[in-house]
Amino acid sequence: MLEEIRQQPAALERTLKGEIRRAESLRKLFARKKPRMIVLAARGTSDNAAQFGRYLLEITTGIPVSLAAASVYTLYQAPVDLRDALVVAISQSGESTDTNFVLERARASGAMTVGVTNERKSTMAGLAEHVFLVRAEKEKSVAATKTYTGQLLAMYLLAYSLGANISLDDVRRLPEWAAAALKLESEITERAERYRFMRLGVVLGRGLNYSNALEFALKLMETCYVVAEGFSAADLLHGPIAMVERSFPVFLFAPSGVTWPGMREMLEKVSELKAETLVFTDQSNSAAVKSQQRPIVIPTKLGRKGNGEDIYTPIPYIIPAQLLAATLAAVKGLNPDEPRTIHKVTLTL
């Protein structure tokens, strides 16, 4: 897992070089006819990437985005009118049975289809009309890391294809920003010991980093056997905050931008409750973080100022969290590459 985390800048670079031409081709296609809506279908880590895609695509294109409920198609076999829609299926292996079933039904009902997968010869790659390949090479660890960030990158390319005002020059810097985040590895390794006996925790994010809250919580569950829950910081206030008490672990993704004021207020609230807080943030916010321990400061400036200030933060922000999950598993004497009772490819209907 650690080795694959370290491979992410190179994997992102390969994906960019291999898939920008496809993005340009699709951009010409969508310029003639844009979809009236977008449906994203995925499971597990890929579903967290889809959550990011939902925010990114709606924010940058204005097209409504829905996350597919696979059971509607597989168990209830309900006919869904997807004419003039774009259906995007996301799967590391390309063999997720229910995700592929949604893709197949969508194409049969007249939708345009796109697959996002790491496997060129997978079932998904054969089913979809258009495919973004996540060129991460073989991912051996059960815990997905480089395929997750590759899927996030594919969402940027898809947004660009749909006419979003996204600079490809900025997108091309994502491998550089990922490499900068990897420089935190020694600091993360030192700090993992503090959480050796953690059994419960929550992870908070807003907007474009909500997906990272879900993904980090998943990594803590599958590699460290910590009962962790990812929340939007806004949703935490609607009941779940009742479980936060003294020394309760709370992790927060808090980049600069439109989500920062709300995340700062949430940090102040959980700090008043004497929670054990750890904040992933940037240099401009670090002085305002008054938690029990210093924040994890992402060592780079990302993208533009203003409402899009956090648009490129998800990839460099998840990398320190991945490192923390991997090193914490080692501290706990666990093998993050082979978590108990789960497998790399999960088949569900």
- pLDDT tens track, the chain, 349 positions: 999 999 999 999 999 999 999 999 999 999 999 999 999 999 999 999 999 999 999 999 999 999 999 999 999 999 999 999 999 999 999 999 999 999 999 999 999 999 999 999 999 999 999 999 999 999 999 999 999 999 999 999 999 999 999 999 999 999 999 999 999 999 999 999 999 999 999 999 999 999 999 999 999 999 999 999 999 999 998 989 999 999 999 999 999 999 999 999 999 999 999 999 999 999 888 888 876 678 999 987 775 555 568 999 999 999 999 999 999 999 999 998 888 766 655 656 6
Single out the residue in 172, 194, 225 at which a domain terminates.
172
* Rounded CA separation 296/305 (Å): 21
**Sign, Cα dihedral of 96, 99, 105, 107:** negative
In a domain, residue 183? The reply is yes
122/55 same-domain check:
yes
In a domain, residue 347? The reply is no
Q: Which of 112, 150, 135 has its CA nearest to residue 18?
A: 135
141/51 same-domain check:
yes
194/317 same-domain check:
yes
Helices (H) and strands (E) in the chain, counts: 15, 10
85/188 same-domain check:
no
In a domain, residue 164? The reply is yes
Q: Is 344 a catalytic residue?
A: yes
| pLDDT of res. 117 | 97
| pLDDT of res. 286 | 83
| pLDDT of res. 300 | 76
CATH of the domain at 242: 3.40.50.10490
**Quick one: which H or E segment has residue 39?**
strand 37-41
| pLDDT of res. 345 | 58
235/166 same-domain check:
no
CB count within 10 Å of CB 177 equals 23
162/76 same-domain check:
yes
9/158 same-domain check:
yes
In a domain, residue 342? The reply is no
193/160 same-domain check:
no
| pLDDT of res. 223 | 96
| pLDDT of res. 218 | 97
181/303 same-domain check:
yes
| pLDDT of res. 288 | 83
* Rounded CA separation 50/43 (Å): 9
Q: Which of 163, 244, 173, 242 has its CA nearest to residue 203?
A: 244
pTM score, two decimals? 0.95
225/274 same-domain check:
yes
Single out the residue in 145, 172, 199 at which a domain terminates.
172
Total number of domains in the chain: 2
159/276 same-domain check:
no
In a domain, residue 337? The reply is no
| pLDDT of res. 349 | 62
Strand partners, 151: none
* Rounded CA separation 31/125 (Å): 24
In a domain, residue 307? The reply is yes
In a domain, residue 292? The reply is yes
| pLDDT of res. 343 | 60
Q: Which residue segment(s) compose the domain that 312 sits in?
A: 177-331
284/326 same-domain check:
yes
**Quick one: which H or E segment has residue 24?**
helix 8-32
In a domain, residue 339? The reply is no
- Set 269, 301, 332, 344: catalytic member: 344
